[in-house]
């Protein structure tokens, strides 16, 4: 991911949410994406959105696409290897994000 970002000019976005086993994984991913939304950049135009999951997660539970409003986001979830200490935080990175024009339609 970082190697790809080095080859292109663009901005990155970062987001996070507290992990809770009582919340469905798709909802947790939405919460991370909400924290990444801002009026200065187009999250929906990111070339790659990666979510770092604090625990092992099965393929059936991994959301590949999440819809927020009129945009659909493709996400890649990378889970922490077994045996590693967890931080109980779900972290997201979006790379090569275009800047917005600061219009009402943009946000």
Measured CA to CA, the distance from residue 25 to residue 30 in angstroms comes to 9
- Predicted confidence (pLDDT) per residue in 75-93, tens digit: 999 988 776 677 889 999 9
What pLDDT, on the 0 to 100 scale, is given for residue 45? 86
* DSSP label at residue 35: H
pLDDT, position 95: 87
Q: Which domains are seen in the chain, by residue range?
A: 2-99 (3.30.1330)
Alpha carbon distance 15, 31 (integer Å): 9
- From 3-7, 89-93, 96-100, the region with the lowest mean pLDDT: 3-7
Give the CA radius of gyration of the chain. Answer: 14
* Rounded Cα gap, residues 61 and 36, in angstroms: 22
Binned at pLDDT 50, 70 and 90, residue 18 comes out as very high
Burial of residue 17 (CB within 10 Å: 0-12, 13-18, 19+) is buried
Segment 3-19 shows an average pLDDT of 78
| The pLDDT value given to residue 94 | 92
- Rounded to two decimals, what is the model's pTM? 0.81
Q: In this structure, what token pair is assigned to residue 53? A: 């999951």
- pLDDT exceeds cutoff 80 at 8: no
Q: Which of 1-10, 46-55, 57-66, 89-98 has the lowest mean pLDDT?
A: 1-10
Tokens 């991911």 belong to which residue? 1
Q: Which two tokens stand for residue 64?
A: 């590949």
């Amino acid at each position: 991911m970082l190697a790809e970002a080095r080859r292109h000019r663009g901005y990155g976005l970062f987001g996070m949410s507290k992990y809770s086993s009582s919340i469905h994984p798709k909802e947790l991913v939405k919460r991370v994406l909400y924290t990444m939304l801002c009026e200065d950049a187009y999250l929906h135009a990111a070339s790659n959105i990666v979510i770092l999951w604090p625990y092992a997660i099965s393929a059936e539970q991994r959301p590949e696409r999440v819809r927020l409003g009129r945009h659909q986001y493709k996400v890649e979830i990378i889970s922490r290897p077994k045996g590693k200490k967890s931080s109980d935080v779900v972290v997201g990175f979006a790379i090569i994000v275009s800047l917005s024009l600061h219009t009402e339609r943009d946000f």
